[in-house]
Amino acid sequence: MTITLDGHSLTVEKVAQVARGNEKITIHPEAMKRIKKCRDLLEEKIKKREVVYGVNTGIGELSEVVLTQEQVGKYQRYLIYSHAAGYGKPFSIDVVRAAILSRINCHCHGHSGLRPVVVETLMEMLNKGVTPVVCEKGSVGACGDLSPMAQMALVPMGEG
């Protein structure tokens, strides 16, 4: 049975089926429409050179720094590199799979602005059993998940 993610109906039981039972997933077409719509909106803002925090500005104390077009092209990659610092033992495979699944489900709301191919790649990683090594310790910032999510993001970038 394939589990369909829509951003609203993911249950603990379904997380366990994917994380521990290697159940396949798919993304509901309406969720993909939301993801694409949000990305299109972000692309328009970028094209109009509107200032968008974390996209064409620095973050944190550097939030007032507006990046040049050349810097924007490299910034997202460097942002992931700078946060992908971890230490300690790696999380178990099922924990990392659950985290990836949760992140995909979050993106299905269509509020992230990421390219649809990112969600599709994360889905394929789960479906093909590709699991990044994510360290148990080493968070950056108040959210607590920046470091683990950055470590996860290295794999689809071809870096992890």
pTM of the model: 0.91
Q: Where are the alpha helices (DSSP H) in the chain?
A: 12-19, 29-47, 69-83, 93-107, 116-127, 146-154
Q: Which of 53, 75, 78, 81 is catalytic?
A: 53
Whether 81 is covered by a domain: the verdict is yes
* pLDDT tens-digit map of 114-129: 999 999 999 999 999 9
Please state, in angstroms and rounded to a whole number, the distance separating the CA atoms of residues 16 and 19: 5
Q: Is residue 159 included in any domain, yes or no?
A: no
Triad 81, 131, 24: Cα angle to 5°: 130
* pLDDT-wise least confident of 11-15, 37-41, 61-65: 61-65
95 has a pLDDT exceeding 90: yes
Catalytic residue at 78?
A: no
Q: Distance between CA 28 and CA 4 in Å, rounded?
A: 6
- Domain contains 95: yes
Output the six-digit token pair for 132: 């990044």
List pLDDT tens digits, range 49-89. Answer: 899 999 999 988 999 999 998 898 799 899 899 888 888 99
For residue 55, being part of any structural domain is answered with yes
Asked if the structure places residue 102 within a domain, the reply is yes
Residue 26, in any domain of the structure: yes
Give the model's pLDDT for residue 62. Answer: 92
**Where does the pLDDT of residue 151 fall: very low under 50, low under 70, confident under 90, or very high at 90 and above?**
very high
The verdict on residue 19 lying in a domain is yes
Kindly tell me if the per-residue pLDDT of 142 is higher than 60: no
- Residue 7 CA to its chain's centroid (Å): 14
85: CATH: 1.10.275.10
Residue 160 inside a domain? The answer is: no
How many domains does one find in the chain? 1
Residue numbers of the domain that contains 55: 3-154
